[in-house]
């Protein structure tokens, strides 16, 4: 069978190192998943990639869907036919699929169906840090949350079983510190479930108001299940006045904080592996003796609110409890309560502060001797990679808008080109919201000429985003004749999340060929004027954009060039500065290549006072060579990279 | 908080806290995986945490590696609790040290700088390598500096600098892990096509690590 990754080893009992995302995939294999779909989004993008590589060997179906709603609908269909199905997305994707999910929860499911959602507290690779637990509660479905890779695997299996038992989808909520964490995981048996998919003529999955009551009953059943699941645990002394209620990786942060303080005999830690619905009896048992309850959770005070409501409900049985969390401000990171990630230090500070308040001592000021004055270190702003076609595209856009001079502006959305909001894209983006929103907003701006508005409007969007969410906006633009230019930044891949294929690439998730659905054919089908250019040909591209800015109605320009990280894997021309031709600061170009064009591979040799190229990181696009006023940059013939 | 009070509370050296830091694209995450797999091969438990995502795009990347016995820990190392910092890039090493270092922290650092955007734009300056070395030597324990790029090239690919550095860290003897565990880990991590170049890179680093250890040199330069 060749190289089989550790995630797929059929060796029950063996301990292997797995990332959280690998552990989720492993859990799906151990649960006998038959159908898995996703639209890539960090921090969960790798899960379907891992499953895609194994789909043939293990004979299950995988699909990169064009968006999360379609992905969830496909997985639901597999469930209706009796198969176990998984759909994977990030929190933003759940918003896209949410209309379907709230309906699905009333209609119910058949085969086990798990919705794995990756939240990103601190927004390491997101624009926002949405807390999707609220959406699970709103949809009336159970929400499980693992604390580490071992639990990621176990929670996946448990979620499938619970879903099949309830005939309801189960949400598995994970955070970056589980998805992108790694740990030793004990493997269990791989399971293959041979079920013949079948929808009986008598079976119906209909969303209707009368099933609201059914959904409530199922949630009550889930709560009863939660009383006995090992995913909910408690560690600490039998009866304790200090109770830390945690979930996910916060459990480990809490335990380490307690160990570092030496408070093991004083503080009990309760971990919720099922965060919704609450296991009420389990919680009550521990809340009964508690005088101080502290919450460690990410990001919003979700469990804090739910537990407070529970305590209010059973007020007579409870003693007087002081609550410490985001509402009281005690559990807060540097950004403030309810903002950003948790870590062991935040929990430790919270515990110390509560203790000090109890002792009546003044809260000591946090004072830390800085070892090396980190404030003085230059930060690393996000930048387009060396050779990124988007840098060239934004440079051409900037030039064309300046030439036009009517105050034209650029609307963006989600993808690598989001960085166009910063200096690497010359701060061109003036709006940035959801997938496809640049084009949608342009539909609005594009109707304002009747009120005397005459600024040119440009929306940018990526190729993968085009299939995901831009098409409806473009149909709207054509239908209502909105005045704007849509620039599709086509780098022929889903770059931001790690180069997943999409309908325009001619490949499916497993690597098998698919008929390409070309961007230009879709645009042509709408009979919208269409132009295609190579962003590396900067002058030509700028001229086309300028011309298109002068026109009315919807227009589309495809700027097509393969992502530099992919291109450099096969062909990488050597690019270097000829020191004889570079005039250095005497040139008058103001260090154009490194300071103005701002490609990280264009650096400055302070000793020689001349430009130089960092050949380790240069991807060989050669755009700087075409822009250098002295023509001092040389591009050698492309060499094949082994 | 005085520096004395932030020395880690360790039980027989565990949890062993290692920070690996660098810039997106340098292969931190793969380096982390190799060490974590070696730990599991050696019978330890392990917890890692990577900060990645848009990190290919020039951002700071930091990985936490925690080698454990018996008790599980979370993926994040508390402030000033690193036993060792493996720095793929000087500025990032300094940045990581300022958060996770303490007076006993040992540092192995790659000497090759990667300039942030604002340095290229001339808005701030990149501290000199000498200044970074001076700060780290004064604030921390042992500091060793190597240049991984030529060794990676010798092994067959500049991209293998991460594995050169992992090899050097193994050779220098700062990890509670035997060399054999790494051979198994490399095999587990890389597909057959990529294995040989990474094995060579590991050997290059390993040899340099031995040398640094044996001769107690500060860096590979004579």
The string of DSSP codes covering B24-49 is TTS-HHHHHHHHHHHHHHTT-EEEEE
- Chain B hits for A382, Cβ within 8 Å: 54, 57-59
What is the DSSP secondary-structure string of A441-491? HHHHHTTGGGGT----EEEEEEHHHIIIIIHHHHHHHHHHT--EEEEEEE-
Which of A178, A377, A585 to mutate against chain B (most B CBs within 10 Å)? A377
The one-character DSSP state at B107 is E
Residue B55: per-residue pLDDT: 47
Which of B117, B123, B164 to mutate against chain A (most A CBs within 10 Å)? B117
Residue A197: per-residue pLDDT: 97
Residue B131: per-residue pLDDT: 93
The one-character DSSP state at A378 is P
- Chain A hits for B1, Cβ within 8 Å: 367-369
Give the Cα separation of B97 and B139 in Å (integer).
Answer: 9
- Min Cα distance B46 → chain A (Å) is 5
The answer to whether the Cβ–Cβ distance between B94 and A372 falls below 8 Å is yes
The one-character DSSP state at A377 is S
The answer to whether the Cβ–Cβ distance between A496 and B49 falls below 8 Å is no
Residue B1: per-residue pLDDT: 28
- Min Cα distance A608 → chain B (Å) is 16
The one-character DSSP state at A551 is -
- Chain B hits for A616, Cβ within 8 Å: 112, 149, 158
Least CB–CB distance from A256: residue in B78, B120, B121 = B78
- Chain B hits for A148, Cβ within 8 Å: 47, 72, 74-75
Residue B170: per-residue pLDDT: 96
The residue among A546 and B23 whose pLDDT is bigger is A546
Instruction: Return the residue of B nearest to A147 by Cα.
Output: B74
Residue B91: per-residue pLDDT: 95
Which of A378, A388, A418, A569 to mutate against chain B (most B CBs within 10 Å)? A378
- For the beta carbon of residue A584, count every other beta carbon within 10 angstroms: 16
Residue B57: per-residue pLDDT: 65
pTM of the model: 0.95
- Chain B hits for A184, Cβ within 8 Å: 39-40, 44-46
The answer to whether the Cβ–Cβ distance between B25 and A383 falls below 8 Å is no
Instruction: Return the residue of A nearest to B95 by Cα.
Output: A374
Least CB–CB distance from B53: residue in A43, A147, A260 = A43
Task: Tell me if B194 sits within 8 A of B160, measured CB to CB.
Answer: no
Residue B3: per-residue pLDDT: 31
- Min Cα distance A467 → chain B (Å) is 22
The answer to whether the Cβ–Cβ distance between A176 and B74 falls below 8 Å is no
- Chain B hits for A334, Cβ within 8 Å: none
Tell me the residue ranges of DSSP E strands in B77-190.
Answer: 84-87, 106-110, 143-146
CA A616 to chain centroid: 29
- Chain A hits for B78, Cβ within 8 Å: 256, 260, 343-345, 348
- Min Cα distance B210 → chain A (Å) is 27
Instruction: Return the residue of A nearest to B69 by Cα.
Output: A184
- Min Cα distance A149 → chain B (Å) is 9
Residue B158: per-residue pLDDT: 87
Which of B28, B53, B94 to mutate against chain A (most A CBs within 10 Å)? B53
Return the closest-CA partner of residue A274 out of A182, A178, A170, A185: A170
Residue B11: per-residue pLDDT: 53
- Min Cα distance A496 → chain B (Å) is 7
CA dihedral (B71, B77, B82, B84) in degrees, to 10, reads 80
Give the Cα separation of B203 and A374 in Å (integer).
Answer: 35
- Min Cα distance B2 → chain A (Å) is 7
What is the DSSP secondary-structure string of A294-351? EEE-SSSSHHHHHHHHHHHHTGGGS---EEESTTTT-S-BTTBTTSS---HHHHHHHH
Beta bridge partners of A292: A242, A322
Return the closest-CA partner of residue A431 out of A446, A423, A447, A442: A442
Beta bridge partners of A603: A612
The one-character DSSP state at B78 is P
- Chain B hits for A369, Cβ within 8 Å: 1-3
Is pLDDT of B189 > 60?
A: yes
H or E segment to which residue A547 belongs: helix A538-549
- Chain A hits for B73, Cβ within 8 Å: 252, 255-256
Mean pLDDT for each 10-residue chunk of chain A (642 residues)? 78 95 98 98 96 96 98 98 98 98 98 98 93 98 98 98 98 97 96 93 96 97 97 94 97 96 96 98 95 97 98 90 97 95 96 92 61 73 91 98 98 94 94 98 98 98 98 98 98 94 97 97 98 98 98 98 92 92 94 91 91 90 95 83 50
Q: What is the pLDDT of residues A95-136, one digit of tens each?
A: 999 999 999 999 999 999 999 999 999 998 899 999 999 999
Least CB–CB distance from A383: residue in B58, B74, B112 = B58
- Chain B hits for A594, Cβ within 8 Å: 120-121
Residue B10: per-residue pLDDT: 45
Instruction: Return the residue of A nearest to B119 by Cα.
Output: A378
Least CB–CB distance from B74: residue in A249, A260, A377 = A249
Least CB–CB distance from B49: residue in A42, A177, A371 = A177
| Cα separation values, A581 from A303, A371, A525, A595, A631, Å | 65, 44, 50, 18, 7
- Chain B hits for A6, Cβ within 8 Å: 37, 188
- Min Cα distance A466 → chain B (Å) is 20
The answer to whether the Cβ–Cβ distance between B116 and A371 falls below 8 Å is no
ipTM: 0.91
Q: What is the pLDDT of residues B130-168, one digit of tens each?
A: 999 999 999 888 999 999 999 999 999 988 999 999 999
- Min Cα distance B202 → chain A (Å) is 20
Give the Cα separation of B45 and A15 in Å (integer).
Answer: 9
Least CB–CB distance from B119: residue in A251, A367, A378 = A378
- Min Cα distance B50 → chain A (Å) is 6
Is pLDDT of B4 > 70?
A: no
For residue A277, whether the previous peptide bond is cis, meaning omega lies within 30 degrees of 0, is: yes
Which of A92, A380, A612, A620 to mutate against chain B (most B CBs within 10 Å)? A380
Least CB–CB distance from B53: residue in A3, A125, A591 = A125
The answer to whether the Cβ–Cβ distance between A595 and B33 falls below 8 Å is no
Give the Cα separation of A67 and A62 in Å (integer).
Answer: 14
By residue count, chain B amounts to 222
Least CB–CB distance from B58: residue in A380, A591, A594 = A380
- Chain A hits for B20, Cβ within 8 Å: none
| Interface A-B: count of C-beta contacts within 8 A | 188
């Amino acid at each position: 069978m060749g190289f089989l990754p550790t995630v797929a080893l059929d060796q029950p009992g063996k301990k292997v190192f797995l990332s959280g995302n690998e552990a989720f995939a492993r859990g799906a294999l151990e649960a006998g998943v038959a159908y898995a779909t996703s639209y890539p989004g960090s921090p969960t993008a790798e899960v379907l990639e891992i499953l895609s590589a194994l789909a043939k060997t293990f004979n299950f179906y995988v699909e990169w869907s064009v968006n999360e709603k379609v992905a969830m609908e496909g997985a639901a269909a597999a469930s209706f036919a009796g198969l176990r199905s998984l759909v994977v997305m990030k929190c933003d994707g759940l918003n896209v699929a949410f209309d379907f999910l709230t309906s699905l929860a009333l209609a119910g499911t058949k085969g086990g169906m798990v919705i794995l959602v990756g939240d990103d507290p601190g927004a390491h690779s997101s624009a926002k840090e949405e807390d999707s637990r609220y959406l699970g509660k709103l949809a009336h479905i159970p929400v499980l949350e693992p604390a580490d890779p071992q639990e990621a695997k176990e929670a996946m299996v448990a979620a499938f079983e619970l879903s099949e038992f309830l005939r309801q989808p189960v949400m598995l909520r994970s955070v970056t510190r589980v998805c992108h964490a790694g740990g030793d995981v004990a493997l269990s048996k791989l399971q293959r479930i041979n079920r013949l998919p079948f929808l009986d003529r008598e079976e119906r999955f209909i969303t209707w108001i009368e099933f609201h009551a059914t959904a409530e009953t199922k949630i009550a059943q889930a709560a009863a299940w939660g009383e006995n699941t090992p995913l909910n645990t408690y560690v600490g002394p039998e009866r304790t006045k200090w109770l830390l209620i945690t979930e996910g990786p916060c459990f480990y942060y809490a335990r380490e904080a307690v160990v570092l303080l030496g408070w093991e005999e004083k503080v009990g830690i309760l971990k919720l592996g099922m965060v919704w619905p609450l296991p009420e009896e389990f919680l009550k048992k521990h809340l009964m003796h508690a005088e101080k309850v502290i919450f460690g959770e990410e990001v919003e005070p979700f469990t804090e609110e739910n537990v407070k409501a529970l305590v209010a409900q059973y007020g007579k049985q409870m003693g007087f409890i002081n609550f410490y969390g985001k509402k009281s401000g005690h559990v807060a990171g540097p950004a403030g309560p309810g903002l950003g990630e948790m870590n062991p230090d935040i929990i430790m500070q919270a515990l110390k502060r509560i203790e000090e308040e109890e002792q009546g001592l003044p809260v000591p000021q946090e004072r830390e001797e800085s070892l090396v004055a980190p404030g003085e270190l230059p930060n690393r702003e996000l930048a387009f990679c060396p050779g990124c076609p988007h840098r060239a595209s934004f440079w051409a856009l900037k030039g064309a808008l300046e030439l036009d001079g009517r105050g034209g502006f650029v609307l963006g959305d989600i993808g690598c080109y989001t960085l166009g909001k910063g200096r690497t894209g010359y701060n061109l983006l003036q709006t940035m919201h959801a997938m496809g929103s640049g084009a949608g907003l342009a539909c609005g701006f594009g109707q304002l000429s009747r009120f005397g508005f005459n600024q040119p409007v440009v929306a940018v969007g990526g190729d993968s985003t085009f299939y995901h969410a831009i098409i409806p906006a473009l149909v709207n633009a054509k239908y209502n004749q909105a005045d704007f230019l849509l620039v599709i930044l086509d780098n022929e891949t889903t770059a931001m999340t790690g180069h997943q294929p999409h309908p325009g690439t001619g490949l499916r998730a497993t690597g098998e060929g698919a008929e390409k659905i070309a961007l230009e054919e879709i645009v042509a089908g709408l009979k919208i004027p269409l132009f295609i250019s190579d962003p590396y040909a900067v002058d030509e591209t700028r001229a086309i954009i300028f011309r298109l800015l002068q026109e009315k109605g919807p227009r589309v320009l495809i700027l097509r060039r393969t992502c530099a990280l992919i291109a450099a894997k096969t062909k990488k021309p050597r690019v270097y500065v000829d020191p004889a031709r570079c005039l250095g600061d005497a040139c008058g170009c103001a260090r154009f290549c490194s300071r103005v064009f701002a490609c990280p591979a264009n650096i400055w040799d302070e000793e020689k006072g001349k430009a130089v190229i960092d050949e380790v990181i240069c991807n060989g696009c050669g755009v700087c060579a075409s822009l250098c006023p002295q023509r001092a940059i040389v591009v050698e013939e492309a060499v094949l990279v082994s | 908080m005085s520096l004395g009070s932030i020395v880690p509370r360790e039980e027989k050296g565990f949890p062993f806290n290692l920070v690996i830091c660098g810039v997106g694209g340098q292969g931190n995450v793969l380096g982390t995986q190799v060490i974590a797999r070696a730990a599991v091969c050696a019978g330890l438990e392990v917890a890692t945490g990577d900060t990645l995502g848009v990190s290919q795009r020039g951002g700071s990347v930091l990985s936490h590696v925690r080698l454990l016995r018996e008790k599980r820990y979370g993926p994040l190392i508390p402030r000033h609790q690193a036993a060792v910092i493996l720095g793929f890039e000087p500025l990032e090493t300094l940045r990581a040290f300022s958060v996770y270092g303490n007076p006993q922290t040992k540092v192995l650092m790659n000497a090759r700088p990667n300039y942030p955007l604002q340095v290229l734009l001339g808005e701030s300056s990149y501290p000199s390598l000498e200044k970074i070395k001076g700060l780290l030597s004064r604030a921390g324990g042992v500091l060793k500096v190597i240049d991984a790029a030529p060794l990676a090239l010798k092994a067959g690919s500049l991209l293998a600098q991460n594995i050169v550095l992992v090899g050097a860290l193994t050779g220098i003897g700062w990890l509670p892990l035997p060399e054999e565990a790494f051979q198994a880990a490399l095999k587990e991590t890389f597909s057959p096509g990529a294995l040989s170049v990474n094995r060579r890179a590991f050997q290059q680093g390993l040899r340099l690590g031995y040398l640094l250890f044996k001769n107690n040199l500060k860096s590979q330069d004579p």
